[in-house]
Chain A
Amino acid sequence: MACALVALAACEQRSAAMGCNISVTQDLALSGSGAQETITARAIGPSCDKAVGLYAIHDAEGHPAWAWATPLPRAFGDAFADADEEVVRDFLTEWARPRLATTQAAPAWDALTPGQTTLDRLTYDDIRARDLPMLCHASGTVRELCVFWEPAAGGAGLYYERDVEETTE
């Protein structure tokens, strides 16, 4: 019996050593090609209050098209100060539900403030004019970033960032 208990205790320790490793996956139709993409929102860390968030989009063949990461306590604030697995799982579930739109919904170049996009004007205007599929996900408590889907390349890229208040309709 002691042997079994020792074995189970060892198993328990190994689980604990895994820390905060929670993943939520959701299907998504971003490209509009009929293929199904997948969003994975993950928390990784020694404990949930010290976790890093990883946001990834994979195409139907399993190739990663977009990946973004941030320290969760720093980006999303006090909610993670005492976060346990349940809090983090709820957060990831919500995080994995991005807002879908097209690039024409993005502000015109002249309406952008410095730092909202890393693209040059020619590229930004071209992407907007082509009205490409776009996905916006939270990058902070009052901030989100929008990613465009480039059908010719079959990949995604950062389009622009904005304050969440601006998106409230």
Chain B
Amino acid sequence: MRLALFVLAALALSACGQQRQTASTGDGCAHSATHDVMWTSTSARDVITTRSEGPSCAQAVVTFIVRNAQGDPLWAFASTYYDLTAGGIPPEGAPAVADAQMDEFLAGWANVTEMRSGELPEWRADAETLSASAQTFSYDTPFDRETYEMLRARNLPMICYAASVEGTQCLIIDPASQAPIMIVAYGP
């Protein structure tokens, strides 16, 4: 009887294990990293999770997800590992990507730059575009000058993350809607 119960328990555990194995079949590059930031609240930290998945790390889709302390998703961005690290799609015979390389990439990606919107470049009144007003990088914003300058003057908490090989996107919490929005994208 004791043996039968032991076998039953073993079978139950083994069935459970098989289920998990099936769920992960075909995902040879399941990695993740997290990083906490003080962005949407002054009392609770938001959590950034970067994740990879794919049959191999060279073929991985990578995601960047920001959640508040309650677990509500605030922002999500997806791309491919190759597009974010080299640009485009991998050529025939592209080298394999090691697990350690992926871990290093995900940790770096999650480690966003925390800034204030007041640190963004001024959009001068005589400049037709924000880019024409900026010195170092090429900037793009979905806002008109008046709104952009208002958001900049509010000096809001801002996080910036890599959205392409050389491109960065910066997010703020819209004071009107209380929802995350991209204030600028910039790059060379």
Contacts and interface: CB of A to CB of B under 8 A. Distances in A.
Interface of A: 1, 3-4, 6-8, 10-11, 14-15, 18, 21, 44-47, 50-56, 58, 62-65, 67-74, 115, 118, 153-155
A8 B17 CA distance: 11
Interface of B: 5-6, 8-10, 12-13, 15-16, 19-20, 23, 54-55, 59-65, 67, 71-80, 88-90, 140, 142, 179
B63 A69 contact: yes
Contacts, number: 99
23 contacts: A3-B9, A4-B9, A7-B10, A7-B12, A8-B16, A15-B19, A44-B63, A47-B71, A52-B73, A54-B61, A54-B78, A56-B61, A56-B78, A62-B55, A62-B59, A64-B60, A67-B62, A69-B63, A69-B65, A70-B76, A71-B72, A71-B73, A155-B89
Contacts of A18: 23
A46 B70 CA distance: 10
* Majority SS at the chain B contact face: mixed
A8 B72 CA distance: 30
A44 B54 CA distance: 15
A51 B73 CA distance: 7
Tell me the interface secondary structure of chain A in the complex. mixed
Contact of A7 (B9, B20, B61): B9
Contacts of B8: 1, 3-4
Contacts of B179: 74
A153 B88 contact: yes
Given A45-B73, A71-B74, A63 B59 contact: yes
Nearest to B79: A67
